[in-house]
Structures are given as structure tokens and as C-alpha cells.
Structure 1
Amino acid sequence: MSKFFKVLKKVILYTFSILLLLSIAAYTYLYVLPKGPEITENSTISVGIDSFVIYAYKNSERKSIKVWTYKPENWKDKDKIVFVMHGGGRNADDYLNAWVELADKNKLLIIAPEFENKFSKYTTNDYQEGNLFTFFGTKNPKSEWAFSVVENIFDHIKSVNNLTNEQYDIFGHSAGGQFVHRMVMLMPESRIGTAIAANSGFYTLPDGNLEFPYGIKNTETDLQKAYQKRLIILLGELDNDPSLGTFRTTDLAMEQGAHRLERGTTFFNANEELKNKNNWAFNWGIDTVENVGHDYEKMSENAVEWITNYP
């Protein structure tokens, strides 16, 4: 019997050692080694489709990010700037293309960051959950939140192009919609004018008893301040098929609703109920687009009205 326990002890020790080494290797690869495309030289944004690469964080060269842009010929300083946040496919160029005609028609400078990740099929914490926490559950500094990257890109654009714009608008669809509503909730000090979260797969509810990303436990959320931002929850009337795209089916996600349309309504109602309870100002809205499902192109066409019809 003693021999058995000795063998068992060795097996446990070896297994633990291997897991520890794998964890260290994974952490080093994900959070220590430099990643991303090669940095480009600073230059003004060209008319038409363009792109540039900058460091994602202001005080670190550990991560770079590619940013796609589209600038209409008639766009000028103080015309609207719109960030377009891609879905789970991380296909920023496709999302940019969906906004080209809209940009020309409405004089919009489109900025589409590409949150590239080789493991995007297996992890969501780095993008749509804001990079508040590492894959291992430890907290990241606010300077490395994905939301902060958007603010850094805005600063870069203003500086290099000598722009005087004081705010930008932001649209996100699916995973991008998750990104947008969480950015409003968790970083209300951002310079967002109008935020549009379209067809999100699931939401962060204003519930301090639920762990993030399902609730706001262990975050420093200032909902009273977040409610003063202009956020539109944009839903497709036909986005009621959970088989489309990546759809989270955990117990906590399913409690929000059986499909995206229902979950968006659940999220908005929960926040409206909280603001009523506290008698807070509330600048959020909800809109359902008729005869549209989980389609980022058609949702973009409807989102632009919320952007152009507001100062």
C-alpha cells in the first residue's frame, strides 16, 4: 500500500509540475512576449481606404494594433469620427467596407481597429470583455483595457492629423456590441458621443452579485455616470435564431434570454429599472430594426441614423 501512495505522490507531483510549466509558458506567450503587426511611420490619414499600426498601450511596446480607416474626400476637421467595432471574426476590414457608402453620404471618418488574436475562437476576454482580466483571472491595469486602446487610437489620430474633434461615436455589432455596451458601463469617462451596441450575444447586467462579464462584481463601475452617456441598444427584429454566429449558452447567459433579441431587451429593462429605483438621469435608448436579423451590414445602415441625427 505504501508503494502505491509513493507512486501516486510522484504522479501528482509530476502532473502539477507539468501544469505549472504550461501555465507559465502560456502566460509568457500571451502577456509578456511582444505581439502584433509591425509599427508603421506616422502619417496623415489618406482619402479612401487606409490603415496604420501603432502600439496599443501608451506606456508599453508589448502589443501593437492595426487600424483600418476610410476618409471621404469631403471630410474635414470637426466632421464626425465613427469607430466601428468588428464581431467575433475579428474582420475589421469587412466592417470598414460596410461603412464606405455610409461614410461618403454622411461625411464620416471611419476608424476600424482590428483586435487580432490567433486564439479568438477560444477566448473572449481580450476583446469583447474589455481585457479587464487575463485568461487566468488576474486583473489587468486600466491602461491595458481594450477600451483604453480605443481612446489611445483617438489621441493618435487627433495628434497626427491635427484634428480638434473632442469626441467620437462608436458602433459595434455582435461581439462588437458587447464591447461597446461594456465600454460605456466601465469607462463612462471616455470621449464617446453616441454609442450603438447592436445584436450583442450576451450582456453585462447591472448586478453587483454576478461576476463579470455577466454582472459588475469586482469591477469599479459607476452606473450613474454611465447612464449619462448616450447608448442605443440596437436589435434586429429577426435576430431570434441562436444558431447564427457564436452564441453563448451557459446557464447565466441563458437566464438573459433564449436569443439575442430577448437578451437585449432584458439588459435594457434591467438598467431602466435600476435608474428608476435611484431616480437617476438616463440617456440610454432601445430600438428594434424591422425585418433584419444578425446582419452587421444592415444594422450599420440603421445605426448611422442615430449618429447623424445627434449633434
Structure 2
Amino acid sequence: MTTTTLAPEIGRSSLPFVDNFHPDRPLEVNFYRPAEHGPDDPVVIVQHGMLRNGDDYRDFWIPAAEKHRILIAAPTFSNDYFPKAEAYNNGLVIGENGSVQRRENWLYAVPGRVFAALRQAGVTRRPQARLFGHSAGGQFAHRLLATQDHSPFEAVIAANPGWYTLPSLQRDFPEGLGRIGLDEAALARWFAYPMSIFAGDQDISTDDPNLPAQAEALAQGPTRYARAHFVYDFAKREAERLRLPFGWRLISVEGVGHDGAAMSRAAAAYWFEGRIPTADELAPEAALEP
């Protein structure tokens, strides 16, 4: 339970957020609240990439927010307080000494607590939010589903992650879910959730310096696009082998590379218009059109 409340003003705003389980690691939540947004309208929580630029990712969603009356909340995990992949992408699950941290201290619980703070403030009456994460935020989003209670989220999209945690208890975290206290019931819950993996079909660079290059990541394929197919096929086979319901979706987004703005527009159209825009609609110049 969080004691922080969040009441964003109309338009852009940024508010401090202190998570009770990380009082020495303050966050900032970047908001966009349309004038017409009411407490029963949608809420989308957006997880930024490795640049820790929650303000940019908030802004990527503003056109959709205005069109569909969406409240956008983009928590920013700064490098000062959440350095490197271990303290963001990998969720502070493993401590500096290699030990598994207490589950309530895992960073993946924070988006749910941000949403709880919005409900506590009366900003929303929605029972669930949607969660979108791109790149490092896509890593964060799918690991959140792997490790957390799903009840705060009605839908989750992980877009263009650099690599994936595999739904396997035989591989140690973050390559898999082993050694962190999860069981087969947790695995079954993750398989059953309708998680959407968005993969840009032009996210095919093999020499991007930000593309994870450790052995476990390379084993999933040479590019982010290939790795999305790898994890989906791996998960589907595992679910079938274990005779478990499987709800994941793999969605190729045509014409898009490693582009958080374009993927945000694709996700918004998918959720609120029931479609994936064409490559022409998602081109950078299209975003500048009135």
C-alpha cells in the first residue's frame, strides 16, 4: 500500500513519487491529462527506454491521449537512483552481492503502486490500467508480468525489448525465472495472460551498441526482431508441453525500427482503434502532419 497520492493537473505535469519500499530512490512521474479526461476514462502507464526519458515517452502518447481521453503516466527511473540495467530493466531482483531481494522490493511493483496512488487521489475510478513499455521499458514490462500480480493491468504491450526473460524455471533470472522463488503456478499465470509483444520488422540492427550482447541474449537471435520471434516460439512450445493455456500475441509492426514514438502510435491504435497502422502512417514524417 502506498501513502503517496498523485493528482496531476490538466496538460503536462511532473510529480514526485516515493515508493514506500524504496524511500531513498525517489521517482518522477510524467503525466499528460487531457481536459476532457474523466475518472472513468482510460489510464496508460508508459515505461521509458534506457535513456530514462519518461517525459519524451509521455509526449509520444499525447495525440492519442487527446483523441481517446487517456490519462498518461510515465514513471521515470533516473540513472542517479536506478543505475544500469540491474536497477531498471532487471528490476532490482538480484542484489549487488548476488542474493535475491525481498519480493516487495522488486521494482516491477512500482507501476501498480503508481496506479493505486492515482485511484487513492480520486483521479481515476478505473479498476485497471494499461501498461506499455518500449526497449528497456519492454524488458521491464514483460518481466513485470512474469513476476507480479496481474490484477492492476487490463492489457500489457512489450515493444522491441533488447532481450527476454524466458518462461522457464530451469534458467536463472534474468535469463529465466529460476532461483527467485517463483513456482509453476506463477509460470502458468504468465502464459495465460494476453501479453502482446510488438516487434518492429525493421528493428534488425546487429551492431547497435545498445543491443544486449551477453551470451544469453545472443542465444535468442542476432536482432531484436529475431529475439521477439524466439521468445514467442519458445513460450508457445513450453505452454504446449506443460498443457497450459497460452494467451500471448506476437505482432509484427511493418516499417518500424527501434523507434519509441512510432511504436507508441502503433500501440495506441491497436488498443483504442482496433488496428495496426500502416508503415506510411507510422513513418516519422507522418507524426508531424496535423
TM-score bracket for this pair, using the shorter chain length: 0.7 to 0.9
Instruction: Label 1:64 to 1:118 Cα distance change in 2 as closer, same or farther (>3 A).
Output: closer
Aligned partner (choices 58, 73, 87) of residue 96 of structure 1: 58
2:137 maps to amino acid? G
Other-structure match for 2:279 = none
Length, aligned pairs only: 268
Take 2:266 and 2:124, find their aligned partners in 1: how far apart are those partners? 27
Compute the displacement of 1:42 (Å): 5.3
Give the secondary structure class of the aligned counterpart of 1:227: helix
Aligned partner (choices 60, 66, 69) of residue 28 of structure 2: 66
Q: Report the more deviating stretch, 131-140 or 96-105.
A: 131-140
Instruction: Label 1:232 to 1:42 Cα distance change in 2 as closer, same or farther (>3 A).
Output: closer
Does the alignment pair 1:83 with 2:40?
Answer: no
Alpha-carbon deviations, 1:206-249, whole Å to 9, x = none?
A: 22222211111112151111123221000001000033351111
Other-structure match for 1:271 = 235
> What TM-score, normalized to structure 2?
0.87
Does the alignment pair 1:56 with 2:33?
Answer: no
Take 1:269 and 1:188, find their aligned partners in 2: how far apart are those partners? 24
RCO greater where, 1 or 2, for CA within 8 Å and sep 6 or more?
Answer: 2
Give the secondary structure class of the aligned counterpart of 1:125: helix
Other-structure match for 2:110 = 149
Compute the displacement of 1:264 (Å): 0.6
> What TM-score, normalized to structure 1?
0.81
Instruction: Label 1:217 to 1:106 Cα distance change in 2 as closer, same or farther (>3 A).
Output: same
Alpha-carbon deviations, 1:51-96, whole Å to 9, x = none?
A: 2112122x56333211110011111112110011000111111111
Other-structure match for 2:69 = 107
CA contact (8 A) 1:128 1:179 kept: yes
Take 1:284 and 1:291, find their aligned partners in 2: how far apart are those partners? 22
Compute the displacement of 1:171 (Å): 0.5
CA contact (8 A) 1:197 1:234 kept: yes
Give the secondary structure class of the aligned counterpart of 1:66: strand
Alpha-carbon deviations, 1:94-147, whole Å to 9, x = none?
A: 111111111111211100000112386x72111111221123322222222111
CA contact (8 A) 1:199 1:234 kept: yes
Other-structure match for 1:46 = 9
Other-structure match for 2:282 = none
Take 2:268 and 2:75, find their aligned partners in 1: how far apart are those partners? 18
Give the secondary structure class of the aligned counterpart of 1:201: coil
Take 1:126 and 1:207, find their aligned partners in 2: how far apart are those partners? 22
Percent identity over paired residues: 28
Paired residues for 1:250-265 under 5 Å: 250-265=214-229
CA contact (8 A) 2:141 2:158 kept: yes
Other-structure match for 1:223 = 187
Give the secondary structure class of the aligned counterpart of 1:224: helix
2:97 maps to amino acid? F
CA contact (8 A) 2:22 2:105 kept: no
Does the alignment pair 1:189 with 2:153?
Answer: no
Q: Which consecutive aligned stretches of 4+ in structure 1 deviate over 4 angstroms post-superposition?
A: none
CA contact (8 A) 1:86 1:92 kept: yes
Give the secondary structure class of the aligned counterpart of 2:144: helix
Take 1:119 and 1:73, find their aligned partners in 2: how far apart are those partners? 33
CA RMSD of aligned residues (A): 1.9
Instruction: Label 1:43 to 1:297 Cα distance change in 2 as closer, same or farther (>3 A).
Output: closer
2:11 maps to amino acid? G
Segments of structure 1 that go 5 or more residues without pairing to the other structure are 1-40
Other-structure match for 2:281 = none
1:79 maps to amino acid? D
Does the alignment pair 1:306 with 2:267?
Answer: no
1:138 maps to amino acid? S
Paired residues for 1:158-307 under 5 Å: 158-219=119-180, 220-221=182-183, 222-244=186-208, 246-307=210-271
Take 1:170 and 1:304, find their aligned partners in 2: how far apart are those partners? 11
